[in-house]
Amino acid sequence: MLAIPAIDLREGCVVQLVGGDFDKEKIRLGDPRDVARRWAGYGFQRLHVVDLDAAMGRGTNRTVVRDLLADATAPVQVGGGIRETSDIESLFADGANRVVVGTRAIDDPDWLREIADAYPGAIVLAADVRDRRIVTHGWTRELPRNILDLIDELDGIPLGGLLVTAVHREGQLAGTDLPLMEDVAEASDWPVIASGGIASMNDLRALEDRGLAGAVVGMALYTGILDPRILAEEFAE
């Protein structure tokens, strides 16, 4: 399994939010490129960059993302507010390894199939869930479908992976939602990446034991709870 550091961008800075709440910002670092270099220097094999402002419709960090991609020494997957094909084309042209799409892809499965067919294996679908219900538009809208329904509906689309964020655990260091992630991994034909609440090596080992392909780690890295060198070494593939 691959451990993937999160680089969440807000107002040009790297931040960590508790529960995805913009009013509960716990970490703020002013140099995203330095943060990315640091994680790559520890040996992480992929970075996960999210433009939080774009996801919430509050602006964009597109210039920062472009600079990160130009400077990157590790593959980077980029998400956050990506709702146009032209955005995807630009990100790949700038050097993104994978592009992560969420709200529009879930609302418009025909568009998701179109872009996945154009970039097979390079589009990652972000499914944010709260108690197994899909939430979109920056976690502000809850859909009547649950995550397993979504997997059934999108079967056969050539995605590069499924990123599942347990919103109810995000940034709280309360441990991953293991039953959720186990059920998703069993149901999905795509590699599944877990996110939300990861607080210990045991959390990561439990995810690996249940067939998860990767895990995005944020708060536990930024607060020093997890040792990045040990994490990057043990979860490198």
Active site residues per annotation: 8, 128
Tokens representing 23 are 């009013």
| CA-based max dimension of the chain | 42
Evaluate the CA torsion angle 82, 235, 171, 210 in order and state its sign.
positive
Phi, psi angles (nearest 5°) of residue 121: 80, 5
DSSP H or E stretch at residue 37: helix 32-41
The rounded distance, in Å, linking the Cα atoms of 65 and 7 is: 10
The rounded distance, in Å, linking the Cα atoms of 226 and 237 is: 18
